[in-house]
């Protein structure tokens, strides 16, 4: 699971402001710490969707300190981010991936859509045609954030 650092700052109105060093455009807040972190997850998903739509780079999470606060993306969203980052690194466009997979470009759009439930086999196939393997790993919950 990909996990991004956030800064939580209480403001003078009793709410919590959330920003991220990895996504300068990300700003949200919540009435409580928990609500602010929940809103942060939605804000990360929106920022990532916008970057994919605009063909912009999605950053690799920056390293922080053990005490830093992190927001983890859901597993499927994390895998889709890794797929998009692989495409960007290798200079592969959506149309290129569609051709390699033998599908329409609109299907690639759905594969990369964080809100679309894509089958794991389809995501695996996308990695395969890029010459990559998707590996699954299970860790203890107290091992800290994964990037």
Average pLDDT of the residues of the chain: 94
Residue 8 φ then ψ, to 5°: -110, 125
CATH 1.10.260.40 fits 75-129, yes or no: yes
pLDDT at residue 147, as a whole number: 52
- pLDDT > 70 fraction of the chain, expressed in percent and rounded: 97
Domain regions of the chain by residue span: 3-72, 75-129
User: Above 90 in pLDDT, residue 4?
Assistant: yes
| Residues 84-126 pLDDT 10s | 999 999 999 999 999 999 999 999 999 999 999 999 999 999 9
pLDDT digit string, tens, across residues 52-64? 999 999 999 998 8
Looking at the whole model, is its pTM more than 0.85? yes
Q: What is the mean pLDDT of residues 27-43?
A: 97
Q: What is the assigned CATH class of domain 3-72?
A: alpha beta
Say how far apart CA 21 and CA 4 lie, in whole Å. Answer: 9
For residues 8 and 36, the answer to whether their CB atoms sit within 8 Å is yes
């Amino acid at each position: 699971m990909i996990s991004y650092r956030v800064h939580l700052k209480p403001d003078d109105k009793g709410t919590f402001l959330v920003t991220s060093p990895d996504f300068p455009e990300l700003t949200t807040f919540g009435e409580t710490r928990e609500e602010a972190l929940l809103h942060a997850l939605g804000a990360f998903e929106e920022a990532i969707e916008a970057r994919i739509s605009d063909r912009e780079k999605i950053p690799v999470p920056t390293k922080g300190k053990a005490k830093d606060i992190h927001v983890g993306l859901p597993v499927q969203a994390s895998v889709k981010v890794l797929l998009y980052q692989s495409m960007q690194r290798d200079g592969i466009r959506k149309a290129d991936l569609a051709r390699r997979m033998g599908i329409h470009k609109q299907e690639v759009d759905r594969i990369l859509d964080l809100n679309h439930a894509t089958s794991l086999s389809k995501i695996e196939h996308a990695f395969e045609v890029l010459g990559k393997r998707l590996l699954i790993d299970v860790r203890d919950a107290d091992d800290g954030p994964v990037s």
